[in-house]
Structure 1
């Protein structure tokens, strides 16, 4: 399912969808040709073309079968996916989780997927949600709760009386964010609600009947009886309150009434950046309209992401909120970039049939695409005047989105904080225009007569939302889309693919290059006199390691460099501090054609140069934020890419030290690929997130766990690691040599299976698999 490439370049008009689609195909034609060619030449591959929705919503609405029926043999449906939010399907009782692309590729050619038998954590849901509480509020609260319970690598199963107050779509929202609370899965057992969802979404009636009968006869249908779990927890739904999460972590929940916490975040930024805690206001003119931009302003308001756009409760709720707001004469603030990216065209169908779509559009929430957009970091540029004001005055602005991740620098490099919220609250913040509003005490806006309007006055009731769902959501809407799910838009159908069963790589391409993964040596060789490329703290995410969004922050700077290059100034390129941008310009690509790192994943040269280049990454070896390190013994400060290439020229291996939760976030296998390409032999951290640990092992990079916080490293040390005789789950000696002498510490090798050891012995999992074919 191709869903990660569409960007919000155009917004706020009825033409935004078509314009963004045209731009998407222009940028990604080479990649889409490769996909279309692969579909033709691989018998077990089907492509859901771009523009048909987000993979997880497509899965729950159309692809998942819950029970498989092959030649009369019935067995439970399962899935592994190359996106960490594959767990969304757990909400309709399909066991599935995310894996790295490397592992998925080998499974496609017949290799098994290995997992150590996990602990199972039962979560007893009790109570019922209060009026005004959404599934988004519940999942943000559950994420906060379970992160504190350390469920990393464990299976979570929900049970209890609270299940009957959750729809299937509510459950998929909660399951979707399993990676955010650390679990491998967040499973809901099948109930009558599961069967009703299959019926609503157009599954064949005979199949649905078989599903129900099979699950009941196998004892898998939820019966309310207490099961035995390794760990048993309790979560009270009645304690959940309207919430957001941010500014940089999904588990950092904030009640919307706790404006003091949000103001503290803003003032701490101001004290650090401008030397004062005073919230400032700046005059601004946008499209001829006078307005003011203050610290705490909302610069992006995006209804986006499979997490929430699969749930009609919050989407119809957002549309009804918009309807009530428009009828009271309210508008969004002119400095807010608004967008609406449903995970399925079915959403548009029921919003149109209910005549609610015009009200969302009245507040600027026009459909911009059917894909991940802002949630993956493809928010596009801010309104130009807003961007310039932020840059000139260091204004604290925020993004508010109905997504699942908000890591530093992910959503947009110009905003200082990103907050996860329900679609209903996204609309509310777009109208209010600032994050530090107390909706209980302050009006969301003024009507045309100057009278205050409070959020509670325009917030739709659960009863009203339910009435709209019952009247306007029809099985036929899903049946119609099911018949078209593998069809492409005109741009897809017009793509011309090369002939032949062997794909011919164009080595001049800046999008799709032949990768260097094959024919590489074993990585189970002792590391001697390695240098430290980086020392990180806790929570280094895969977004930090391999960004997916914009290749550069300051486009104007690179446009000037490009202009000088075109005028014959051959040294202008030396001013480029982004190795990836420099590479692209040297290959004739203008800054306006850079696209994103996510779109350039078919070119290892671009991705290598983007390794550890996130503008928010903090390497404790340097005194600045961003993608820099110190090369030793020269002591020179340089980009991670430049340093790694210099070490490679010198024949020096590398290691990285980090704190807890290294590799949190996306299942992005490029985070392990760039690690390998940079010559990093081992990552030594206090703990790893599940998928990234697996990806490192699959790529031949050795994950080692030990307490790094007590090492007091400076970065000029050299490191030896004895790797030649390691075993799965064994220990390894790490020798650190510095000015204070030599230290030996024992670490745990996080190669968890014999197969992972063999992958490393073969160089990587792809080499291992190729040898077996």
Structure 2
């Protein structure tokens, strides 16, 4: 029971012979017209009310929520569970293992460090598409995955046995978000509390920004950094302000030839333009009932691309049908229906909730689209894709056309700018959606029947988000057609979308790099940031799965699907995209005839057990982990070294130097890349020194359990542009500890600054830290010795992660930038007023003084300004005072 029940909301719900304790939201005035997502938060507060962290005043404030007001009421949200993927999950378990030792060192019980909220980790980020286009590609890629990642997997298996309430879905099963909607999500959660069975809304936070996919099921959840996820696992609520909620009305229906992917790219563009960072988006209106669950999930998945915290759909019959299809028990479906109706969480189009802002999309106006070449919100209508590519090309290529002859495997062809070198059906966004996956299969069948082939320079990969996709492709008889075009399954995981596209053929890679070609990738993913997909590929485009295949057939972005033929059929007739595009009725008929509940039952029956490879991994046991001092994958991090039970007062920053001056839209990919490790980079040098062969470097993402690699990889993206240097890309800076401040690796410069006791700051532009919720972007920043980041604006997760690692996020005054203030990064920077936090209050602004240094131009003036402190909640202030969220949790547990 919650310790306090000010609203007398406790009741009993009886469903199918079971009684459940529930906290009724109709006990709170104003509940009727709250948006769906805020009703879920209202129940959460009623259930966790304790009079201290969660108060009756907060509950009343939520009931009487004013949609027009600026968010200013802090609440504590306690998610039902935590979901993780292995890139971000491994550091979580490393940190928990380290905390066990730290608790013991401080005189506490190491077994206290255990997930208090159920946590599930899906290993989906590690498989790389090394092999493709052959029948044994899947088997070989999995084999290589185990060879590369055996150490990490042993560690995760240890965690599965050492920690209570922590489960691991082994490699080769699927993508976390797809597994979440198909199996893990309950929609209505049940748990025994104090001997009583309690029912409440399923909610979650996840260590991946696309956790929002589950919003399509009516489950409130979003991506948090690994740092916040650890705190949530350890029972810490997520501190947040009651957000603005944007009502998004869907009307009309999707026209023939248009896919769910086209819809989501249109919504992404609309919402980015509108501005929804930090807000909830909620879909409402009569049109919602016509949106299939798979399309809802596709839209929810892209929430981080529009910038919103969540993108919610309500619960209705469509939700129940999906739960039945995916093998949830009838008892669970009955509970979801009864609970949702009792709590007014059931979709009622006749009640229009109050929203902060309103948008509307008539689905019948959507047209086929792609997005690129570097951001998901840059939508391009397919009809003008060729001219848009031509317009974008000069920014990426030195000349408009550079045809280069290449021979691969005895086949000769010409490679030019715009060549599609990667065509990947990948990513939970679309592989969870049978309408686009079966459209791709049918398009492949039609193309194969006409004798069309993918171009020989295209790396064609198919990476389903769950094994159910393979089952329904088999049943529909489409597997052979996909393989005929080169689309063999390469793995069940994120692959290309997370940067695990694997290498291009050596001959192709050499031609690209020797002639500086601007080649392209087309993927059905959600992220296409620079440097993310493949180091050889400069321009990346998002497209629906059938369009991915179409581009593999075309072989170039310099292609007009209306006017240009994809090839000729066996009789020599030109074949156009319209000739092979599948009919919408046929796609639906194929869905109806080839997908059944038995597939989900079969594939998820033993989902946590794994195959022979997983089960035969030698696994250590014991409450604390035995660190291997030789490991280059899993090492004990230094966060708690020298930590005491008492906090150290926070101090102002004096005499800091600028480590990097960065522009707009610097993503967490720029700050902490997940992809390949270059041999001549500090991380590559470290691995070489530790006896790792270049072929075994693996990726930054897979080495996240080793802080030594990750510090060296911070700001190491090959496309990073540090404005302290002219026309230089990559992880470099000017090292002001040296005479004449020469160019140096950021890591090397940081080492010298830290040895000299010089604090560091970062200057940045708008939307700093957008992209994936990458905890290492904050951990690496902190370990490099950065004390403050001063930006024009921050993306939500990265801002809170910086605080979680003891780095203060500050904003330039409204309308001002580093450039408008005359800052060039050569200054010495001091920041005063931070010490006000020691008094228990958070200052609204602090004073920044940037003084010319010996490296500044002659006559440069002192610049002073008031920077806005972006510590937004009292909880965040507590974390910062403790030196970080993990230290705060550790002290509170001991």
TM-score tier (shorter): over 0.9
Q: Is contact 1:657–1:708 with CA below 8 Å preserved after alignment?
A: no
SS in structure 1 opposite 2:241? coil
Please give the alpha-carbon distance, in whole angstroms, between the structure 1 residues aligned to 2:713 and 2:332.
Answer: 47
Please give the alpha-carbon distance, in whole angstroms, between the structure 1 residues aligned to 2:425 and 2:715.
Answer: 29
Please give the alpha-carbon distance, in whole angstroms, between the structure 2 residues aligned to 1:742 and 1:231.
Answer: 42
Residue of structure 2 in register with 1:468 after alignment: 590
Out of 303, 323, 345, which is 1:178 matched to?
A: 303
Please give the alpha-carbon distance, in whole angstroms, between the structure 1 residues aligned to 2:348 and 2:567.
Answer: 48
Residue of structure 2 in register with 1:732 after alignment: 846
Please give the alpha-carbon distance, in whole angstroms, between the structure 2 residues aligned to 1:36 and 1:628.
Answer: 38
Out of 456, 464, 478, which is 2:578 matched to?
A: 456
Q: Is contact 1:523–1:763 with CA below 8 Å preserved after alignment?
A: no
Please give the alpha-carbon distance, in whole angstroms, between the structure 2 residues aligned to 1:209 and 1:110.
Answer: 29
SS in structure 2 opposite 1:481? helix
Residue of structure 1 in register with 2:348 after alignment: 223
Q: Is contact 1:308–1:314 with CA below 8 Å preserved after alignment?
A: yes
Counterpart check, 1:622 vs 2:725:
yes
**Cα deviation digits, residues 73-109 of structure 1 (max 9, x gap):** 3211101101010000000110000111111112212
Q: Is contact 2:253–2:364 with CA below 8 Å preserved after alignment?
A: yes
Q: Is contact 2:254–2:366 with CA below 8 Å preserved after alignment?
A: yes
Please give the alpha-carbon distance, in whole angstroms, between the structure 2 residues aligned to 1:662 and 1:675.
Answer: 13
Out of 363, 366, 371, which is 1:245 matched to?
A: 371
Q: Which moved more, 1:662-671 or 1:616-625?
A: 616-625
**Residue 138 (structure 1) shift:** 0.7
Q: Is contact 1:129–1:165 with CA below 8 Å preserved after alignment?
A: no
Counterpart check, 1:41 vs 2:155:
no
Residue of structure 1 in register with 2:209 after alignment: 84
**Residue 115 (structure 1) shift:** 1.4
Q: Is contact 2:124–2:176 with CA below 8 Å preserved after alignment?
A: yes
Residue of structure 2 in register with 1:674 after alignment: 780
Q: Is contact 1:729–1:752 with CA below 8 Å preserved after alignment?
A: no
Counterpart check, 1:329 vs 2:451:
yes
Change (3 A) 1:728 1:149: farther
**Cα deviation digits, residues 183-207 of structure 1 (max 9, x gap):** 0000011121111111100100121
Please give the alpha-carbon distance, in whole angstroms, between the structure 1 residues aligned to 2:655 and 2:592.
Answer: 68
**Cα deviation digits, residues 209-267 of structure 1 (max 9, x gap):** 22112212322111112221011111221221111111110000111111211111124
Residue of structure 2 in register with 1:631 after alignment: 735
Alignment of 1:492-503 (within 5 A): 492-503=614-625
Residue of structure 1 in register with 2:701 after alignment: 598
Please give the alpha-carbon distance, in whole angstroms, between the structure 2 residues aligned to 1:172 and 1:165.
Answer: 14
Out of 802, 806, 817, which is 1:700 matched to?
A: 806
**Residue 129 (structure 1) shift:** 1.3
Alignment of 1:234-273 (within 5 A): 234-258=360-384, 259-270=386-397, 273=398
Q: Is contact 1:80–1:99 with CA below 8 Å preserved after alignment?
A: yes
Q: Which moved more, 1:282-291 or 1:9-18?
A: 282-291
SS in structure 2 opposite 1:148? helix
Residue of structure 2 in register with 1:764 after alignment: 884
What is the TM-score when the length of structure 2 is the normalising length? Answer: 0.82
**Cα deviation digits, residues 487-509 of structure 1 (max 9, x gap):** 21221111011132210111221
Please give the alpha-carbon distance, in whole angstroms, between the structure 2 residues aligned to 1:10 and 1:291.
Answer: 21
Q: Is contact 2:566–2:575 with CA below 8 Å preserved after alignment?
A: yes
Residue of structure 2 in register with 1:396 after alignment: 518
Please give the alpha-carbon distance, in whole angstroms, between the structure 2 residues aligned to 1:655 and 1:522.
Answer: 21
SS in structure 2 opposite 1:645? helix
Please give the alpha-carbon distance, in whole angstroms, between the structure 2 residues aligned to 1:159 and 1:501.
Answer: 48
Change (3 A) 1:229 1:729: farther
Please give the alpha-carbon distance, in whole angstroms, between the structure 1 residues aligned to 2:648 and 2:379.
Answer: 44
Please give the alpha-carbon distance, in whole angstroms, between the structure 2 residues aligned to 1:447 and 1:389.
Answer: 31
Out of 650, 671, 682, which is 1:579 matched to?
A: 682
Counterpart check, 1:106 vs 2:231:
yes
Change (3 A) 1:522 1:764: farther
Change (3 A) 1:400 1:522: farther
Please give the alpha-carbon distance, in whole angstroms, between the structure 1 residues aligned to 2:495 and 2:515.
Answer: 28
Residue of structure 1 in register with 2:151 after alignment: 30
Residue of structure 2 in register with 1:151 after alignment: 276
**Cα deviation digits, residues 698-739 of structure 1 (max 9, x gap):** 010000011324122222101111221134362111111125
**Residue 523 (structure 1) shift:** 7.8
Counterpart check, 1:683 vs 2:808:
no
Q: Is contact 2:821–2:863 with CA below 8 Å preserved after alignment?
A: no
Please give the alpha-carbon distance, in whole angstroms, between the structure 2 residues aligned to 1:441 and 1:188.
Answer: 39
SS in structure 2 opposite 1:75? strand
**Residue 293 (structure 1) shift:** 1.3
Alignment of 1:273-672 (within 5 A): 273=398, 276-277=399-400, 279-518=401-640, 519=642, 522=648, 524-552=650-678, 558=679, 576=680, 578-623=681-726, 624-632=728-736, 634=739, 635-672=741-778
Q: Which moved more, 1:255-264 or 1:320-329?
A: 255-264
RMSD over aligned Cα atoms = 1.3
Q: Is contact 2:836–2:843 with CA below 8 Å preserved after alignment?
A: no
Q: Is contact 1:731–1:749 with CA below 8 Å preserved after alignment?
A: yes
**Residue 763 (structure 1) shift:** 1.4
**Residue 161 (structure 1) shift:** 3.3
Out of 860, 866, 874, which is 1:746 matched to?
A: 866
Structure 2 residue runs of 5 or longer lacking an equivalent are 1-121, 853-858
Give structure 1 regions of 4+ aligned residues with deviation exceeding 4 angstroms: 520-523
Please give the alpha-carbon distance, in whole angstroms, between the structure 1 residues aligned to 2:488 and 2:180.
Answer: 24
Q: Is contact 2:657–2:760 with CA below 8 Å preserved after alignment?
A: yes
Q: Is contact 2:654–2:759 with CA below 8 Å preserved after alignment?
A: yes
Please give the alpha-carbon distance, in whole angstroms, between the structure 2 residues aligned to 1:499 and 1:474.
Answer: 40
Please give the alpha-carbon distance, in whole angstroms, between the structure 2 residues aligned to 1:750 and 1:27.
Answer: 40
Change (3 A) 1:268 1:677: closer
Q: Which moved more, 1:283-292 or 1:519-528?
A: 519-528
**Residue 72 (structure 1) shift:** 4.3
Please give the alpha-carbon distance, in whole angstroms, between the structure 1 residues aligned to 2:265 and 2:247.
Answer: 18
